[in-house]
């Protein structure tokens, strides 16, 4: 089995500057989206998206074997800097991956 890939998961939630009662499409998240696009183009963002329930929030998964670099990527997000979003970084390990066939039960 291939060695599991270390990645970091960002848990985004509404921050202190989020206007009450306003859904995500009405927020000034353009700079946040451009930032994530840049990280993806650089190969540092694996995927990101919104939760579709009323609790809101979202996730981004960063390709970074170094926690300090992942912390910087999270802190440099314009929506985090402005307080529109709050964010928490968690180390995460990919174990099951349909795209690559990675599984602790795969033959190999």
CATH code at 64?
Answer: 3.30.70.1060
Q: What is the pLDDT of residue 72?
A: 97
State how far the Cα of 82 lies from the Cα of 89, in Å rounded to an integer.
Answer: 17
68, pLDDT greater than 60: yes
Is 3 in contact with 95 (CB distance < 8 Å)?
no
Q: What is the pLDDT of residue 37?
A: 97
Is 6 in contact with 91 (CB distance < 8 Å)?
yes
Query: Residue 30 domain-assigned?
Result: yes
State how far the Cα of 91 lies from the Cα of 102, in Å rounded to an integer.
Answer: 19
Query: Residue 83 domain-assigned?
Result: yes
55 is in which domain, residue-wise?
6-93
Report how far apart the first and last C-alpha atoms of the chain are (Å, whole number). 6
Query: Residue 82 domain-assigned?
Result: yes
For the chain, counts of helices (H) and of strands (E): 3, 4
Number of domains in the chain: 1
State how far the Cα of 77 lies from the Cα of 73, in Å rounded to an integer.
Answer: 7
Determine the average pLDDT of the residues in 35-44: 96
**Residue scoring higher pLDDT (2 or 90):** 90
102, pLDDT greater than 80: no
């Amino acid at each position: 089995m291939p060695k599991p890939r270390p990645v970091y998961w960002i848990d985004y939630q509404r921050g202190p500057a989020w206007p009450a009662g306003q859904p995500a499409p009405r927020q000034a998240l353009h700079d946040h989206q451009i930032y994530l696009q840049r990280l993806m183009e650089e190969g540092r963002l694996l995927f990101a998206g919104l939760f579709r329930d009323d609790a809101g929030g979202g996730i981004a998964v960063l390709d970074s074997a170094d926690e300090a670099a992942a912390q910087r990527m999270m802190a440099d997000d314009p929506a985090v800097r402005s307080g529109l979003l709050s964010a928490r970084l968690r180390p995460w390990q990919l174990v099951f991956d349909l795209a690559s066939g990675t599984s602790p039960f795969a033959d190999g």
